[in-house]
Every structure is written in C-alpha cells, then in structure tokens.
C-alpha cells in the first residue's frame, strides 16, 4: 500500500533553508490548508489545518529560491511520523510530509519557470543519456479555416 498525499495551501512563513554537516541542502516549510464550507444553518465556516514538510538537495534550494510566505503551493509527498523525548522527559510526536514534488499553484496566479542545470550534467545539457539535444518546438502556422490555433 502506498503512502502518498497531495496538499494545496499557503506557506505561513518563508522556507527555511539549511545545510547538513556534509553540505546537503534541506528546506523546511509550513503550510496552511484551509477549507470553506456551509454548515447546516447555511452559515459559511472556515477550517484550517497546518502541516510541516521537508525537502532535500536541489528541490530544497529551488524551494528557497522560488517560494515565499503567502505563496499558494501544491505539495506531493509521503507522510512520515517523527517521535522524540523532550529534556523534561515528555514524549512528543509529529506527522510531517516528506516532500517529493512542490510548486506554485496556478489557480489564481502565474509563474515563470526557469530550468536549473542538473547535477552531473555538462554545459550542453547532456546527462549521460546520449549526445543529442531535443529540437526546439516550432510554432505551427498552417491552421485551416476551421481550426483554432490552440
């Protein structure tokens, strides 16, 4: 059975970028997911839940560079439970998202996407899978009278 979750919400603070002792990037985010609904009396109600998540390496650096407090985002990942004991001996536990994919929501906004070079790739964009690069898309201009240019 797969453990997967997708959430859409707003960042409640700027992503926190840190690096491990070995130099691996890690970013933590906090996400507010709100739901608006009508109760039985026809009154509008709002319910918010807050989730934390972590992403690693290139994703972490891209998140810190691209997203900020208030950004509406879409997050996909796995739920992970973490437990610890406080200095006072109290046991604590939290469920967090191990983020696999994250990006801006385009429902009420636009975004400009800029590709970042992959680790291990050469300057021409080759990553060991061959020596050819994909051709740039060519805009079609030969639309017939009954065709829409979409």
Taking residue 63's Cβ as centre, other Cβ atoms within 10 Å add up to: 25
Measured in degrees and rounded to the nearest 5, phi and psi for residue 61 equal: -65, -40
Calculate mean pLDDT across residues 134-149.
49
> From CA 61, how far away is CA 57, in angstroms rounded?
7
- Please report the pLDDT score of residue 119 as a whole number: 63
- Please report the pLDDT score of residue 48 as a whole number: 93
- Please report the pLDDT score of residue 134 as a whole number: 46
Query: Nearest-5° angle of CA 108, CA 63, CA 117?
Result: 110
> From CA 79, how far away is CA 76, in angstroms rounded?
10
- Please report the pLDDT score of residue 49 as a whole number: 93
Residue 116 makes CB contacts below 8 A (sequence gap 6+) with 58, 62
Residue 104 has pLDDT above 70, yes or no: yes
Calculate mean pLDDT across residues 81-98.
93
Q: Does the predicted model carry a pTM greater than 0.85?
A: no
- Please report the pLDDT score of residue 120 as a whole number: 56
> From CA 99, how far away is CA 25, in angstroms rounded?
13
Locate all alpha helices (DSSP H) within 93-145, ordered by sequence: none
Give the residue, 20 or 148, on which the prediction is more confident.
20
> From CA 132, how far away is CA 10, in angstroms rounded?
40
Calculate mean pLDDT across residues 81-101.
93
% of the chain with per-residue pLDDT over 70: 77
Calculate mean pLDDT across residues 22-44.
93
Residue 62 makes CB contacts below 8 A (sequence gap 6+) with 116
Task: Work out the pLDDT band at 124, boundaries 50, 70, 90.
Answer: very low
| Domains of the chain, start order | 5-104 (2.40.50.140)
Residue 143 has pLDDT above 60, yes or no: no
Give the chain's mean pLDDT. 83
């Amino acid at each position: 059975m797969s453990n997967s979750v997708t959430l859409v919400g707003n960042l409640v603070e700027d992503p926190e970028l840190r690096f491990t002792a070995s130099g691996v990037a890690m970013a933590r985010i906090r996400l507010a997911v709100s739901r608006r609904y009508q109760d039985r009396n026809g009154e509008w109600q709002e319910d918010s839940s807050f989730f934390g998540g972590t992403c690693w390496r290139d994703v972490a650096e891209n998140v810190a560079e691209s997203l900020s407090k208030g950004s509406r985002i879409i997050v996909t990942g796995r739920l992970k439970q973490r437990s610890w004991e406080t200095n006072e001996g109290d046991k604590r536990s939290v469920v967090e998202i191990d983020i696999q994919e994250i990006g801006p929501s385009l429902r009420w906004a636009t975004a400009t996407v800029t590709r970042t070079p992959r680790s291990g790739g050469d300057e021409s964009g080759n990553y060991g899978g061959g020596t050819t690069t994909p051709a740039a898309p060519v805009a079609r201009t030969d639309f017939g009278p009954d065709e829409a240019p979409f």
